A and B are shown apart, each in its own frame.
Chain A
Amino acid sequence: MFAYYLDLAIRSLKRNPALTVLMVVAIGFGVAASMITYSVFRAVSGNPIPDKSARLFTPQIDSWGPQYNDRGEPPQALDYTDAMALMRAHAARRQTLIYPVQLSVLPGGNRSLPIKANGIAAYGAFFPMFEVPFRYGSGWSEAQDEDRAAVVVLGAAFNRKLFGGANSVGREITLGGHDYRVVGVTRHWNPVPRFYALFGGGDIFGKPADFYIPFTRALDLQISTTGNNSCRQRIPATGWEGWLHSDCVWINPWVELDTPAAVARYRNFLEGYSAEQQHAGRFGWAPNVRLRDVTQWLAYMHVVPPESRIALMVSLGFFLICLVNTIGLLLAKFMRRAGEIGVRRALGASRLQIYLQFLVEAATVGLAGGLLGLLLTAAGVSGVGLLFRPEIARLAHIDLSLVGLTLAVAIGATVVAAFYPTWRAAHVQPAWHLRSN
């Protein structure tokens, strides 16, 4: 019967092309507006590391106290004292500290002009923790962390820029006036948003890091952060050491915890550490710690740009208005065929069969609207830069899942919109319409 209903639907839609086009356009524009903004929303609100997001945690320790913290919430990063204490305790399976750096590099050797490159200072555990894929070589070892080794891992794009994409492992590069030996080159790796360095400032939806160097080496060379640096009280001493021992928070800590028991143990450890600090007189307040996994951290940090959320809501509202119009058009179209419905009922069609006939017709309108919506979405995605910041706009793209979703939403929404008109059609009193014809 489905083929029969489809045939009837196509005949019906051909009978009144103006009305059909109106409905298809309403659905097409509505679904396109929603899908364009959804493509942006999806990009900025997705899980950047779905395989491990539940096993990666960022600890927070309240080193500021109730007078300075954010409505009871600990600072969003760690100060140097607490960060190093966590690393020394080694209470998790893996742990790393992260901060963003910027160094100059000479891409064509000493004869070329220096360019600025953005990098990450981290412990060697960073690479296995975040499943960074390598094209050549690997990350550095724990021993190299302790030795403050002058090693570097290059990002894929940066390796192309410096070495034309060749295997550069073992080569030397000069960063910020110091030589580093390349130990690894990553494949393209750019989880968006850049969850592991949200406190790093800069563009969390931007390009991947150019290079990665050991955290310990960066400290040795007194390379300061290019990310956020938030302080609450006066820095007790001037200079690098004064900054390190201040209450300024600037380090993104991450730990890998594989089981709920490990998470509970680590939370206890954090509270214990914080209590020790209280007893030692460093904290004048009760332990106040947090341990959030990746998705909890993204939500807490309000990573999704407000304009993306607003645009999505506005476009969904627009789609709703389009659907309400479609309900009206479908109702008019279906009820104009009350006579035909009466005849079909008289000839043996049950209410269910009338429902199905008209729902298939609505689904056909939805499919046509979805196809138009796809074309409009394709055009719209290329123009989202008019609505969003460029770094966010470039994240929007069409893939198979968006194509499927566009069609499914168009068909599903139209069928739902058709429930009331179809219900009215199925409840036509055949006797009345046959009598009055």
Chain B
Amino acid sequence: MLKMTHLSKVYRTEVVETYALRDFNIDVKEGEFVAVMGPSGSGKTTFLTIAGLLESFTGGEYLLDGADVSHLGDNARSKIRNEKIGFVFQSFNLIPDLNVHDNVEVPLRYRGMKSAERQKRIQDALERVGLASRMKHYPAELSGGQQQRVAIARALAGSPRLLLADEPTGNLDTQMARGVMELLEEIHRGGATIVMVTHDPELATRAQRSVHVIDGQAVDIAEEPRFHAHAEHAEAATTQANA
């Protein structure tokens, strides 16, 4: 599903070059749930934004769903983001002017979907996260956990094949975090590929496997997966991580 080979990302100024990622290799199979861990500044969020085609990379190769995305233009990258990738952010990133319904609708609008189809998908996604009754609420009227569930519903509404989560429980208390993790696990069991960046080792244990990023390199493979959404995914879950 997601394969990066010898990938690098360099931020250049007039006086200094900073490697955010260096010779970064990772292979996430379809249907996997992978936790990406590492200290602050290690490059894990950079990895996630490159994986989500929100940022370009300097060198190496990136295959997404088998296709090389290195040289795609803005329209093609936007289309892939819209159709194949779902994002869940630490700070939810809901649009404050839009109510729950309209927030979930955003990616569907950019897909040019007809109104009836949009309404069905919004209803389904919100029911799945247990917030169908809060459609008309604005983000400010919801708790943090509810906002994150709306963000998840927004990601789910487009039926993405890859869900990228950046510290999805980072702003939540323990109980809310548990609820969000259970939701992610349920989504994974439904067949989605999930890559989750987290600081929290305990959360990482709930993924099938963990990848550690240190100084811009994927350096470690965690222990055996703990649960398997599908047998074939589990078999395929061999991580390519090179130091």
Q: Determine the distance from Cα of A348 to Cα of B54 in the docked complex, in whole angstroms.
A: 10
Task: Identify B52's interface contact among A339, A346, A349, A352, CB under 8 A.
Answer: A346
Q: Determine the distance from Cα of A8 to Cα of B52 in the docked complex, in whole angstroms.
A: 25
Looking at the complex, which of B103-111, B141-149, B209-217 is the stretch in contact with chain A?
B103-111
B82 touches A348 (CB 8 A): yes
Residues of B within 8 A of A339 (CB): 93
B154 at the interface (CB under 8 A from A): yes
Residues of B within 8 A of A11 (CB): 97-98
A 324-344 contacts with B by CB, 8 A: 339-340, 342-344
In the complex where A348-B79, A434-B54 touch, is A353 in contact with B87 (Cβ < 8 A)?
no
A351 touches B74 (CB 8 A): yes
Name the residue of chain B whose CB is nearest to the CB of A4: B109
Name the residue of chain B whose CB is nearest to the CB of A348: B82
Question: Which 9 A-B pairs give the minimum distances between C-beta atoms?
Answer: A348-B82, A431-B49, A350-B78, A431-B55, A348-B110, A347-B107, A431-B54, A437-B91, A343-B93
Residues of A within 8 A of B233 (CB): none
Q: Determine the distance from Cα of A431 to Cα of B50 in the docked complex, in whole angstroms.
A: 9
Name the residue of chain B whose CB is nearest to the CB of A352: B75
A435 touches B78 (CB 8 A): no
Residues of B within 8 A of A8 (CB): 97
A176 at the interface (CB under 8 A from B): no
CB distance from B193 to the nearest CB of A (A): 17
A296 at the interface (CB under 8 A from B): no
B 74-114 contacts with A by CB, 8 A: 74-75, 78-79, 81-83, 87, 89, 91, 93-95, 97-98, 106-107, 109-112
Residues of B within 8 A of A412 (CB): none
Residues of B within 8 A of A353 (CB): 78, 110
Residues of B within 8 A of A437 (CB): 89, 91, 93
Q: Determine the distance from Cα of A11 to Cα of B78 in the docked complex, in whole angstroms.
A: 24
A107 at the interface (CB under 8 A from B): no
Residues of A within 8 A of B81 (CB): 345-348
A345 touches B78 (CB 8 A): yes
B208 at the interface (CB under 8 A from A): no
CB distance from B32 to the nearest CB of A (A): 22
In the complex where A346-B52, A348-B83 touch, is A12 in contact with B154 (Cβ < 8 A)?
no
A430 at the interface (CB under 8 A from B): yes
Q: Determine the distance from Cα of A321 to Cα of B95 in the docked complex, in whole angstroms.
A: 33
A1 at the interface (CB under 8 A from B): yes
A434 touches B89 (CB 8 A): yes
CB distance from A141 to the nearest CB of B (A): 73
Name, among A340, A344, A435, the residue most crowded by chain B CB atoms within 10 Å (CB to CB): A435
A345 touches B54 (CB 8 A): yes
Which B residues fall within an 8 A CB radius of A? 45-46, 49, 52, 54-55, 74-75, 78-79, 81-83, 87, 89, 91, 93-95, 97-98, 106-107, 109-112, 154, 158, 166
Q: Determine the distance from Cα of A11 to Cα of B154 in the docked complex, in whole angstroms.
A: 20
Name the residue of chain A whose CB is nearest to the CB of B45: A435
Residues of B within 8 A of A69 (CB): none
Interface bits A346-378 vs B (CB < 8 Å: 1, else 0) = 111111110000000000000000000000000
Q: Determine the distance from Cα of A352 to Cα of B77 in the docked complex, in whole angstroms.
A: 13
Task: Identify A347's interface contact among B46, B87, B91, CB under 8 A.
Answer: B87
B110 touches A349 (CB 8 A): yes
In the complex where A340-B95, A434-B93 touch, is A347 in contact with B54 (Cβ < 8 A)?
no
A382 at the interface (CB under 8 A from B): no
Name the residue of chain A whose CB is nearest to the CB of B103: A343
CB distance from B97 to the nearest CB of A (A): 5
A15 at the interface (CB under 8 A from B): yes
Task: Identify A430's interface contact among B54, B97, B107, CB under 8 A.
Answer: B54
CB distance from B62 to the nearest CB of A (A): 15
B97 touches A348 (CB 8 A): no
Q: Determine the distance from Cα of A348 to Cα of B82 in the docked complex, in whole angstroms.
A: 4
B97 touches A15 (CB 8 A): yes
B79 touches A347 (CB 8 A): no
A350 touches B74 (CB 8 A): yes
Residues of A within 8 A of B166 (CB): 434
Q: Determine the distance from Cα of A343 to Cα of B93 in the docked complex, in whole angstroms.
A: 7
Name the residue of chain A whose CB is nearest to the CB of B151: A343
A 14-30 contacts with B by CB, 8 A: 15
Residues of A within 8 A of B49 (CB): 430-431, 434-435
B78 touches A348 (CB 8 A): yes
Residues of B within 8 A of A345 (CB): 54, 78, 81
In the complex where A339-B93, A431-B49, A431-B55 touch, is A346 in contact with B83 (Cβ < 8 A)?
no
In the complex where A4-B109, A343-B93, A437-B91 touch, is A350 in contact with B54 (Cβ < 8 A)?
no
Q: Determine the distance from Cα of A429 to Cα of B75 in the docked complex, in whole angstroms.
A: 15
Q: Determine the distance from Cα of A36 to Cα of B213 in the docked complex, in whole angstroms.
A: 66
**8 further A-B pairs in the complex, CB-CB below 8 A; given A346-B81, A348-B79:** A8-B97, A11-B98, A346-B52, A347-B110, A348-B81, A350-B75, A350-B110, A435-B49
Name the residue of chain A whose CB is nearest to the CB of B82: A348
Residues of A within 8 A of B74 (CB): 350-352
Residues of A within 8 A of B45 (CB): 435
A 388-437 contacts with B by CB, 8 A: 429-431, 434-435, 437
B78 touches A12 (CB 8 A): no
Q: Determine the distance from Cα of A429 to Cα of B11 in the docked complex, in whole angstroms.
A: 14
Q: Determine the distance from Cα of A435 to Cα of B52 in the docked complex, in whole angstroms.
A: 13
Residues of A within 8 A of B97 (CB): 8, 11-12, 15, 340
CB distance from B118 to the nearest CB of A (A): 11
Residues of B within 8 A of A342 (CB): 93
Name the residue of chain B whose CB is nearest to the CB of A436: B91
12 contacts between A and B (CB under 8 A): A11-B98, A12-B97, A344-B106, A347-B82, A347-B106, A348-B81, A348-B110, A429-B55, A434-B54, A434-B166, A435-B45, A437-B93
CB distance from B230 to the nearest CB of A (A): 27
Residues of B within 8 A of A348 (CB): 78-79, 81-83, 107, 110-111, 158
Q: Determine the distance from Cα of A429 to Cα of B50 in the docked complex, in whole angstroms.
A: 12
Q: Determine the distance from Cα of A22 to Cα of B172 in the docked complex, in whole angstroms.
A: 40
Q: Determine the distance from Cα of A11 to Cα of B138 in the docked complex, in whole angstroms.
A: 13
CB distance from B89 to the nearest CB of A (A): 6
